[in-house]
Amino acid sequence: MRMSAGMLLLGMVMGGLVAAAALIPFFERPLANTVPRGAARQQRALDVLRAEQQRMQRAIRDLEFDYDLGKLADDVYTDQRDYLVRLEGTIARRLDELDADIAAQDARIEAAVAALRQEPGGSGS
C-alpha cells in the first residue's frame, strides 16, 4: 500500500508536534523562586532519601519473599540481602545526619534571634 504525499506530510507534522511538545520542559527557564535553596533543598534531600530508604526496605522484603519461595540460592540471597541492608543503613545514617544538621541550623537561628532580642533597641524590648 502506498501512502499519498499528503498523508506522509501529515504524519511528519504530527510527529514534529509530538516531539516539540515532549521537548518543551527542557527549554523552559525555571523561575527564580522555583530553585530550591536552603531549607527547601534540605527538605527535598530528606524526601529523596526517605523514598530511597523505603525502596530499599521493599527490596529487602521482596528478596526475602523470593528466598522463602525457593527462587534464590542461599549464597545469592545472603550476598544480596547483606548489600541491601548495608545500603539501607547508609541511607538511614545520612538521614540522621541531615536531621542533625537541620536541628543545628534551627538552634543557630533561634540563638541569633534571641541575641537580637536581648540587644538594646532590639525588636523584643
Domain spans, the chain? 39-125
Outline where DSSP puts E strands in the chain.
none
C-alpha separations of 21 from 8, 10, 98 in Å: 20, 16, 38
The position carrying cell 527462587 is 71
27-82 pLDDT, tens per residue? 555 555 554 466 788 888 889 999 999 999 999 999 999 999 999 899 999 999 99
**Any residues with CB less than 8 A from the CB of 125 and at least 6 apart, and which?**
117
Is this prediction's pTM over 0.75?
no
Query: Sorting pLDDT into bands at 50, 70 and 90, what band is 105?
Result: confident
Q: Enumerate helices (H) and strands (E) in the chain, giving the number of each.
A: 3, 0
pLDDT given for residue 106 in this prediction: 87
Cα–Cα distance for residue pair 11/17, rounded to 1 Å: 10
Contact 62, 20 (CB under 8 A): no
Cα–Cα distance for residue pair 3/28, rounded to 1 Å: 36
Cα–Cα distance for residue pair 108/71, rounded to 1 Å: 53
pLDDT given for residue 119 in this prediction: 81
pLDDT given for residue 35 in this prediction: 43
